[in-house]
A and B are shown apart, each in its own frame.
Chain A
């Protein structure tokens, strides 16, 4: 019962945030059009509905990470946020990045996080394991940063160019093995070093008696 109420509260809260962003952007879109950007006009289509759903999913998940009392709920909120971000990548015609996001973040990082939670928190007291402090100062700092970033995002007339939706997986593969070959190999080297380092840090030391 309490969880149901919480769920409703989360839904309403995220809808309110998304609505606020929508109203703000609708108010500022004439300024954007004057700045040479594409005006955000036209009928509300299914595609837009999917975009707003993904944005709401992302923001609600992030809010759960930031505010939930229970760290397991935080991890599940992270799952929602990462899924939403993967969907946004698809909207931005970054198909391969979206798939990599699902595979690496949700399949790898989130599993690691869940393992860490299970291994380090005594499950019985999981409700008090996610305590936080400094709500006032942290909240003020985050709010200032949020306002700054929103003003930057909406007020600056970015030199937007027409952006058709194209498939980018094949060109990205070619680019990774031609132009970005050196960073690509460096990434594999870093992953190997990470693998060895994580094993060395987390192993139990066996001392010879």
Chain B
């Protein structure tokens, strides 16, 4: 049982589906951001796996690195916005945040 491309694709598929489920069902903004991180990771596994098994070279890995960097930036700005929402509305339920400022 050597792990083939399909195994990695399966793990990434499960990860993406669980991330999507998190984003769809959570009301907590921080939990939604965690779901987004899961989906980004699933996409990254696909990038690196296709890079190794199909394409070759290093393009997929470099792209995965940029995805990681952008995910960090997204998390920083997203959580800053969450904190700002919390200061304004005293809750981070995403259904309550319907104003840009008080």
Chain A contact residues, CB within 8 Å of chain B: 17, 21-22, 24-26, 28-29, 32, 37-38, 40-44, 48, 51, 55, 58-59, 62-63, 65-66, 71, 74-75, 78, 81-82, 85, 88-89, 91-94, 96-97, 100-101, 104-105, 108-109, 112-113, 115-117, 119-121, 129-135, 137-139, 141-143, 145-146, 149-150, 152-154, 158-161, 163, 168, 171-172, 175-176, 179-180, 183, 187, 190-191, 194-195, 197-199, 201-202, 204
Which residues of B are found within 8 Å of A105, using beta-carbon distances? 37, 41, 68, 71-72
The tally of residues in B whose CB lies under 8 Å from a CB in A reads 68
Chain B contact residues, CB within 8 Å of chain A: 1-22, 24-28, 30-31, 33-35, 37-38, 41, 44-45, 48-49, 51-54, 56, 58, 61-62, 64-66, 68-73, 75-77, 79-84, 86-87, 92
Q: Is the CB of A120 within 8 A of B73?
A: no
Which residues of B are found within 8 Å of A180, using beta-carbon distances? 62
Which applies to chain A's interface (DSSP): helix, strand, loop or mixed?
helix
Which residues of B are found within 8 Å of A38, using beta-carbon distances? 2, 4
Q: Is the CB of B65 within 8 A of A97?
A: yes
Tell me, rounded to whole Å, the shortest Cβ–Cβ distance linking B65 to chain A: 6
For the complex with contacts A117-B30, A150-B13, 18 further pairs of A-B residues with Cβ separation under 8 Å are A32-B4, A37-B5, A40-B3, A81-B41, A91-B3, A92-B45, A94-B52, A94-B64, A100-B65, A113-B34, A116-B79, A120-B82, A142-B24, A146-B16, A146-B17, A158-B5, A160-B54, A190-B69
